[in-house]
Amino acid sequence: MAKQEEQEPVEVPLHQLYPPVDLGAKGGSPTENQANMIAARNSPGWFLAIGVAAQSLAQRADQILLDYTREMVTVRYQIDGIWHQLDPRDRASGDAMLFCYKKLANLNPADRRSKQEGTFTAKFQKVDYIYTIISQGTPTGERVLLKIRTKKPTLERLEDLGMREKVRQRVKEVLDGDGGMSVFSAPPQGGFSTLWTCALNATDRFVRDFVSLEDKDKPEDEVINVTPHFFDTSKGESPGSLIPKLLLKEPDAFVVPEILNAESMNLLCEQASKDKRPVITRVQAKEVAEALMRMLMYKASPAEFAKAVKLVVNERMVRRLCPSCKQAYQPAPQLMQRLGIPPGRVQAFYREYQPPPPETLVDEKGNPLPPPPPCGDCHGLGYKGRIGIFEVCFVDDQVRKALVSSPTLDSVRQAVRQSGCRGLQEEGILLVAQGITSLTELQRALKQ
C-alpha cells in the first residue's frame, strides 16, 4: 500500500486563536460611526484587525507599534513595560488592517502622511477597552501607535502598586495632614503617571476641596473630586498665575502636575508651610535625591522649599514572575553575601522559565520530542503583571539642612539615607528574596 504524503499544516487565522473581540466605531456622529463600522467590517483586513486586537488583549499589551516600510509591517507589543517583537506582516495585509482601525476611529485611511489621532472601542472577555490610534507618515512609510486602556484601571491605589502597609499609612498621614509639600517621582517609563494617579487616590479629597493647576494644552486625566483649573503658557501664564484668584475660594489643597517656574514654586511653598495647605506635585527622577535636586532647579528659595517639603516618593516598576512557570534555583553564597542576605535566611531564588536543553528532549528510545508548549498564563514570557519598588523619604532636619547648604546630589543622597530612607535596590532585593521578581529583572529596572 502506498505511503500517504504528509500534508502541510494548515495555518489557523489569528482571530480564531483567541476569544472573540468586539470592536466599535467612535469619534464621529452616530450616522458616521455606523457607516465607519460597516466599511471596516466589509474590508478584507477585518479579520486580521480583530485578530491583532484579540491577541494584544489576551497577552495584556498596553501598546501596539506598527512600523510600515515599502515591503512589510513590523509589529511590536508593549507588555508590562517591555517591547516584544512579533512576526512581521506583509504590506498589503497590514494596509488592509490599518484601514479598519482608521475607519473605526473616524480618521482618513487614505492619508498616510499627516499626523492623525482618534479612538475606537473594544470589548474582550466582558471588559471594555479604549484604543487610541496615533499615525504619522515617515520617510519609509508610516508609524502607527495604538494605546490600550481599560475604562477601569487595574492599578488605582498605592496598595495595588505593592507599597507596604506601614509605609502606606505614613504616606497617607502626610497627605491628609495640615500643609506640607509632597513630591512623587519616577522615570518617564517607570510608572510615572500610574504613581501620580494612585497618590491622588490616597488623599482625603472627598472631605476636602482639592484644586488642580494644569496646562490647558496638557490636561490631566480626570480624578474624582479634584477640580481642574487651567493656565495658558502661550500667554505667559503658569500655576502661580492662578493661585491669587483661587485663594478667594479658600481651597484646602493644591495639586500641581508641573510647577514650571520660581514664582509658582515660591507661592506654593508659602501655601504649604505658612498657610498649611497641602501641595502635591511630581517630577521625573530616578531616585529621591534627584527629585529633590530637580525641585531646587526651579530656582526658588531653597530655604522656603526645605521648610515646605515633607514627603518625597520615588518608584520603579518591576515585572512579577509568572507564578505558574517560575523556576527555583540555589543562589551562590557569594551572591547572597553581596546582596546583604544572611546565610540560611532565603532557601532559593526564582527566575523566569528556562526551557530544557534540546538534547534532553528525547523519549525512552532516544527519539527527539517536541519542546513543551509555552505557559498558558504568561504566554511564554515568564512574567505576568508588575509591582512597584519604592524609595520613600519622610523629610527630616538632616535632609532640610542638606537642601540649604550648597546641596549636591551626593550630599542630599547621604542625608536621605541618614533619614532612614531605604534605597530602591534594598527594597527590590526584598522582592527577589520573596520570589516575587527575579534578580535579572530587578537589575534591568534599576538601570532605567
**CB of 119 closer than 8 Å to CB of 41:** no
Q: Please give the Cα distance from 337 to 352 (Å, whole number).
A: 23
The stretches of 182-298 forming alpha helices (DSSP H) are: 192-201, 239-247, 262-273, 288-296
**CB of 66 closer than 8 Å to CB of 85:** no
Question: Could you give the angle at the alpha carbon of 443 between the alpha carbons of 57 and 383, nearest 5°?
Answer: 25
| pLDDT tens track, the chain, 448 positions | 444 555 556 678 888 889 999 999 999 999 999 999 999 999 999 999 999 999 999 999 999 999 999 999 999 999 999 999 999 999 999 999 999 999 999 999 999 999 999 999 999 999 999 999 999 999 989 999 999 998 777 788 999 999 999 999 999 999 999 999 999 999 987 789 899 999 999 999 999 999 999 999 999 988 899 999 999 999 999 999 999 999 999 999 999 999 999 999 999 999 999 999 999 999 999 999 999 999 999 988 999 999 999 999 999 999 999 999 999 999 998 999 999 888 888 889 999 999 888 778 787 877 888 888 889 999 999 999 999 999 999 999 999 999 999 899 999 999 999 999 999 999 999 999 999 999 999 999 998 7
Alpha-carbon distances, residue 414 vs 97, 112, 292, 363 (angstroms): 54, 53, 13, 59
Where does 158-319+386-446 sit in CATH, by number? 3.40.50.300
Other CB atoms within a 10 A radius of the CB of residue 275 amount to: 11
Q: CATH class for domain 14-150?
A: alpha beta
Question: Could you give the angle at the alpha carbon of 289 between the alpha carbons of 295 and 429, nearest 5°?
Answer: 140
The stretches of 88-236 forming alpha helices (DSSP H) are: 91-104, 158-161, 165-175, 192-201
**CB of 419 closer than 8 Å to CB of 350:** no
Distance between the two ends of the chain, CA-based, in angstroms?
65
Tally of CA atoms within 13 A in the half-sphere of 387 that contains its CB: 23
pLDDT at 53: 97
Q: Please give the Cα distance from 328 to 335 (Å, whole number).
A: 15
Q: For residue 10, with 0-12 CB atoms within 10 Å meaning exposed, 13-18 middle and 19 or more buried, which class applies? A: exposed
**CB of 93 closer than 8 Å to CB of 72:** no
In a 3-state reduction of DSSP, which class is residue 435?
Answer: coil
pLDDT at 1: 47
> Where do the structural domains in the chain lie, given as residue ranges?
14-150, 158-319+386-446
